[in-house]
């Protein structure tokens, strides 16, 4: 039985094992006493002065015994009694109530308390530690640049490698084609993002991306690519422009989810990566469903952790989900992310979005939301902001589109996705209605398995915000959806890992 100990006279509590009621009394002078009672008699007993310890026939339970199980609570409880010894009972009640409410507020999402600990203790500690270990002193000459692998509005992304100490300067020029991969000396592969120079907003975006990567490297490192740091080029040569900023990550995998989805054999092309082997004894559609479920579980689990820190990614899509060799999904590209605990990278009326994946509301917060106040004040107000606006649901819509794309082959092409987006808009973002009227004849087999659990989840992710800006599942609620019950995908993943480790 779990009890709530209040430094006051009496309250009523039910024993969950046998449903009997207990009258619970405590005060400094009188040790806590539990009396079996009925609901009716409790109100009479409640104000009785219980000065002697009463032996309970069936439910003998003493506060000292119970508190002995929780030593820290016990010492806190007695300290509290000591400190408030001179106070009248009513004031003690107020202190407890105020303390409880403050604790609930400070720990409510997105976590004012944990955010303050991170900002004022963990972040400076990380800087100090990184400086001691030399991690903040990255230099241009530490890296060799390989092929260009992507370009966004604010940055150009290259593959690269860390230059080992024994390699001569001449070798540190750009390596093109497969030169870098076949050169055995460059073992530690990295990804480098060159922040564009002279492009409006690029520098600011690069700084934000760096900030988000450091923040997540402390709060939820397993969700994203390992961030190694940044450097500013000290001279202009080959890809480097003097003064230009570069961000560096560990190379997490050859391909992102978008690359895998563009292949005809998706999702089977991920089967051995996700599960370490071919799933046996299952129909092909069930194998597909299991792989997709495992990917979705990872995406939503990571989103939950990121949202718990107050960060909304705002650009969730297959191209921003790197698949590692161990079958882990890492979220990348935090250039558009916003920290809605302190208002970082949030400007009202400005949205950075990919129209194919962004939700109908377009903005992470209502357009009339004012410019964030200074960070400590914004942080203090953030639980109210989250409660009223649920900004995390922005990413959940994008996760829903990703699920639909994985499960419905015709939606994987750019044209198929655009067609879906225009059809869903025409039916007011009502997925059930879309199913009735779509002309695209989608193959919904995977979503319809297990009495349509996948389909049900999709309908609860792809929807308008609705009343009180809710009406869409949060990451935590999605993980509790029946689609993720009976973790057959989890079991297969664990089994394969056990087999591999033998």
Ligand X SMILES: Nc1ncnc2c1ncn2[C@@H]1O[C@H](COP(=O)(O)OP(=O)(O)OP(=O)(O)O)[C@@H](O)[C@H]1O
For the range 40-47, what are the long-range contacts, defined as Cβ-Cβ under 8 Å and sequence gap of 24 or more? 42/10, 42/12, 45/10, 46/9, 46/10, 46/11, 46/12, 47/9, 47/10
Q: Tokens for 78, please give them.
A: 């007695």
Task: Mention every residue, 6+ apart, whose C-beta is less than 8 A from residue 468.
Answer: 388
- Local structure of residue 196 (DSSP, 8 states): P
Q: What are phi and psi of 151, to 5 degrees?
A: -150, 125
Residue 230 beta carbon to ligand X: minimum distance, rounded to whole angstroms: 14
Complex with ligand X: residue 34 or 261, whichever CB lies closer: 261
Complex with ligand X: residue 155 or 310, whichever CB lies closer: 155
Contact (Cβ atoms closer than 8 angstroms) between residue 452 and residue 459 = no
Residue 186 beta carbon to ligand X: minimum distance, rounded to whole angstroms: 15
Complex with ligand X: residue 260 or 483, whichever CB lies closer: 260
Residue 428 falls in which region: left (phi positive, over 0), alpha (psi -120 to 50) or beta: left
Residue 136 beta carbon to ligand X: minimum distance, rounded to whole angstroms: 19
Q: How many CB atoms lie within 10 A of CB 31?
A: 13
Complex with ligand X: residue 25 or 320, whichever CB lies closer: 320
Residue 419 beta carbon to ligand X: minimum distance, rounded to whole angstroms: 24
Complex with ligand X: residue 165 or 187, whichever CB lies closer: 187
Helix (H) or strand (E) holding 290: helix 284-308
Question: Which residue in 118, 142, 315, 392 is the catalytic one?
Answer: 315
Complex with ligand X: residue 49 or 151, whichever CB lies closer: 151
Q: Is 489 an annotated catalytic residue?
A: no
Complex with ligand X: residue 208 or 483, whichever CB lies closer: 208
CA pair distance 185, 163, nearest whole angstrom: 8
Q: Tokens for 100, please give them.
A: 């409880």
Residue 169 beta carbon to ligand X: minimum distance, rounded to whole angstroms: 27
For the range 250-253, what are the long-range contacts, defined as Cβ-Cβ under 8 Å and sequence gap of 24 or more? 250/189, 250/190, 250/191, 250/225, 250/226, 251/159, 251/189, 251/190, 251/191, 252/191, 252/225, 252/226, 252/322, 252/324, 252/330, 252/332, 253/322, 253/323, 253/324, 253/325, 253/330
Contact (Cβ atoms closer than 8 angstroms) between residue 158 and residue 147 = yes
**Site residues (CB under 6 A) for ligand X?**
149-155, 157, 191, 225, 249, 251-253, 256, 319-320, 322, 332-333, 335
- Please state, in angstroms and as integers, the Cα–Cα distance from residue 242 to each residue in 122, 197, 235, following that order: 32, 10, 4
- Local structure of residue 484 (DSSP, 8 states): G
Q: Tokens for 207, please give them.
A: 């700084």
* Chain position whose Cβ is nearest to ligand X: 152
Residue 380 beta carbon to ligand X: minimum distance, rounded to whole angstroms: 31
Residue 152 beta carbon to ligand X: minimum distance, rounded to whole angstroms: 2
- Please state, in angstroms and as integers, the Cα–Cα distance from residue 56 to each residue in 34, 35, 39, 46, 408, following that order: 7, 7, 17, 17, 63
* Residues noted as catalytic: 315
């Amino acid at each position: 039985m779990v009890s709530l100990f209040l430094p006051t006279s009496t309250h009523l509590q039910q024993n969950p094992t046998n449903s009997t009621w207990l009258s619970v009394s405590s005060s400094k002078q009188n040790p806590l006493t539990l009396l079996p009672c009925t609901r009716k008699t409790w109100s009479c007993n409640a104000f009785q002065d219980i000065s002697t310890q009463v032996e309970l026939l069936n439910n003998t339970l003493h506060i000292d015994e119970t508190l002995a199980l929780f030593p820290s609570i016990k010492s806190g409880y007695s300290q509290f009694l000591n400190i408030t010894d001179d106070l009248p009972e009513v004031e003690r009640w107020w202190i407890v109530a105020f303390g409880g409410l403050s604790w609930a507020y400070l720990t409510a999402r997105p976590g004012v308390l944990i955010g303050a600990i991170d900002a004022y203790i963990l972040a400076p500690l990380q800087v100090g530690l990184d400086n001691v270990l030399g991690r903040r002193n990255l230099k241009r000459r530490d890296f060799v640049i390989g092929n260009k692998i992507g370009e966004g509005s604010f940055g150009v992304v290259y593959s690269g490698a860390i230059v080992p100490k024994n390699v001569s300067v001449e070798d540190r020029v750009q390596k093109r084609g497969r030169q870098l991969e076949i050169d055995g000396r460059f073992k530690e592969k990295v990804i480098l993002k060159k922040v564009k120079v002279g492009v409006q907003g690029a520098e600011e975006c690069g700084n934000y991306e760096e900030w988000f990567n450091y923040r997540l490297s402390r709060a939820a490192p397993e969700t994203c690519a390992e961030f190694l740091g940044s450097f500013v080029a000290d001279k202009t040569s080959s890809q480097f422009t003097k003064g230009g900023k570069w961000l560096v990550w560990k190379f997490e995998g050859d391909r992102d989810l978008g690359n895998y989805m563009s292949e005809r054999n998706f999702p089977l092309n991920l089967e051995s990566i996700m599960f370490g082997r071919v799933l046996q004894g299952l129909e092909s559609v069930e194998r597909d469903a299991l792989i997709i479920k495992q990917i979705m579980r990872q995406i939503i689990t990571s989103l939950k952790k990121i949202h718990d820190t107050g960060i909304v990614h705002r650009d969730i899509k297959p191209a921003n989900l790197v698949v590692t060799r161990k079958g882990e999904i890492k979220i990348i590209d935090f250039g558009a992310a916003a920290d809605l605990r302190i208002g970082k990278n949030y400007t009202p009326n400005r949205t950075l979005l990919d129209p194919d994946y962004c939700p109908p509301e377009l903005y992470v917060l209502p357009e009339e939301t004012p410019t964030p106040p200074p960070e400590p004040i914004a942080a203090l107000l953030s639980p109210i902001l989250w409660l009223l606006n649920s900004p995390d649901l922005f990413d959940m819509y994008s996760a829903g589109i990703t699920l639909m794309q994985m499960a419905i082959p015709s939606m994987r092409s750019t044209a198929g996705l655009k067609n879906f987006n225009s059809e869903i808009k025409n039916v007011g973002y009502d997925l059930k209605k879309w199913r009735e009227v779509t002309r695209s004849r989608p193959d919904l087999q995977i979503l319809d398995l297990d009495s349509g659990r996948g389909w049900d989840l999709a309908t609860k992710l792809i929807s308008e915000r609705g009343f009180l800006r809710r009406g869409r599942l949060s990451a935590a609620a999605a993980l509790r959806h029946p689609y993720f019950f009976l973790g057959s995908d989890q079991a297969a993943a664990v089994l394969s890992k056990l087999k591999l480790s033998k």
